[in-house]
Amino acid sequence: MYHKGAINLKREMDENGEEIRYHLAFLAVGMYEYQVKSITKEFYEDIELYFEEEYRDEIVSTKINQLRTIPVEESITPDHHIATYDELKTIIENTEKIAVMDCICQKGKDLIGESCKQTDMREHCFALNNSAQHVVDIDNGRFITKDEALNILKKAQEEGLILQPGNAQEPNFICCCCGCCCDLITNLKKLERPWELFYSNYYANVDSNSCIGCETCLNRCQMDAISMV
């Protein structure tokens, strides 16, 4: 089950030595991404349909949401974190193991003839620590150095991808997503107020005196949240 990507394991040290604990993998990020080397056109079409018809509504309605809407005055924040390169640099520098793998969302789109419009990059999804070991164990990715990871992240940001780590003090993954391929983003964009399901430390502010109407911001925004007036 571990090699099929159905469960994860966590290695911990105690007074008796190393202890291994197993737990069920999330669907995404988890079981889905672990199929990156075996994905077929039929599998992708099935999972895409499932995400749209069932998974999207469940992920925003469950009592224990990974993504949730929180009033601004509350001290807690929605669970889906959008990060900057500088924030991710801190995460990378404090991570023991890093593996990189192909983006399964882009790979699926390639299979159905709808290749990414944002970038030609494919190898830009990261697994960290125990998840990194898992990815390498099942031959889904390769270990890389911290400098290599930072270079890929920098390139991803330059390409206009959204940098999304897991919302935890020690995240086990970092996704670099686009608005045309990412199954999470494309489905949330269909909701009435998708921005409420994403957390960021920053808010966009237009300097009307500096704006020349070049529309670069329109092309960069993966949520299609900007319009010219």
pLDDT digits (tens, 9 = 90+) for 173-225: 888 999 999 988 888 788 777 766 666 666 667 788 888 888 888 877 777 77
Tokens of 60: 């925003």
Amino acid 44: pLDDT:
94
Kindly report each contact of residues 211-214 with a partner whose C-beta sits within 8 Å and lies 24 or more positions away, as own/partner: none
39 and 104 in contact (C-beta within 8 Å)?
Answer: yes
Q: How far is CA 143 from CA 52, 89, 101, 121, 228, in A?
A: 33, 17, 9, 18, 43
Q: How far is CA 107 from CA 54, 117, 158, 185, in A?
A: 22, 13, 21, 16
pTM assigned to the model: 0.78
Q: How large a percentage of the chain has pLDDT more than 70?
A: 81
For the chain, the DSSP string reads -TTTTSEEEEEEEETTEEEEEEEEPPIIIIITGGGTTT--HHHHHHHHHHIIIIIHHHHHHSSS-SS----TTSSS--S-EEB-HHHHHHHHHT-S-EEEEE-HHHHHHHHTT---SS-S--EEEEEETHHHHHHHHTTSEEE--HHHHHHHHHHHHHTTPEEEE-SSSS-SEEEEE-TTT-HHHHHHTTSSSGGGG-EES------TTT-----HHHHH-TT------
Q: What is the mean predicted confidence (pLDDT) over 43-48?
A: 93
Q: How large a percentage of the chain has pLDDT more than 90?
A: 35
CB atoms within 10 A of CB 211: 11
CA 179 from chain centre, in angstroms, equals 12
Amino acid 72: pLDDT:
31
Is the model's pLDDT at 120 over the cut of 90? yes
Amino acid 62: pLDDT:
56
Q: Tell me the average pLDDT of the chain.
A: 81
pLDDT digits (tens, 9 = 90+) for 48-79: 999 888 877 776 665 444 433 222 333 334 44
